[in-house]
Amino acid sequence: EEKLMGFGHRVYKNYDPRARIIKSHADEVFEATEYNPLVELATELEKQALDDEFFTSRKLYPNVDFYSGIIYEALQIPPGMFTVIFAIARTAGWISQWLEMTEDPDKKIARPRQIYTGAREADYVPIGERTGEDRISGPATRPS
Catalytic residues: 9, 65
Angle at 47 between CA 41 and CA 48, to 5 degrees: 85
Find the length of the chain.
144
SS3 per-residue string spanning 64-92 = HHHHHHHHHHHCCCCHHHHHHHHHHHHHH
Are residues 12 and 65 in contact, defined by beta-carbon separation less than 8 angstroms?
no
Q: What is the phi/psi pair of residue 62, to 5°?
A: -55, 140
